[in-house]
């Protein structure tokens, strides 16, 4: 096992709580809601599952095809 992986220290409860709080306070689209189980903001709907790339358009509150 690589040496650097042996030196990893498990975060404390306080560090985990601070990370969750920081993530909750991070910038996010206004229409998204906090998922306390996943510990992240989620869109009101899932993106289409058609193999193409989509990005969230907050003005439309919809997934739009990524053209970049």
pTM: 0.62
- Measured CA to CA, the distance from residue 40 to residue 33 in angstroms comes to 8
- Structural domain tally of the chain? 1
| Residue 10: pLDDT band with limits 50, 70, 90 | confident
* Range(s) of the domain holding residue 35: 3-65
DSSP 14: H
Pairing state between β 40-42 and 33-35? antiparallel
Question: For 15-62, what is each residue's pLDDT tens digit?
Answer: 888 888 887 777 889 999 999 898 888 999 999 999 999 999 999 999
Identify each DSSP E strand in 5-68 by its residue range: 33-35, 40-42, 54-57, 62-65
């Amino acid at each position: 096992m690589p040496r650097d992986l042996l030196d990893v220290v498990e975060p404390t409860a306080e560090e985990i709580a601070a990370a969750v709080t920081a993530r909750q306070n991070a910038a996010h689209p206004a229409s998204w809601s906090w998922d306390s189980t996943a510990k992240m903001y989620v869109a009101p709907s899932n993106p289409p599952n058609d193999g193409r790339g989509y990005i969230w358009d907050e003005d439309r509150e919809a997934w739009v095809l990524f053209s970049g």
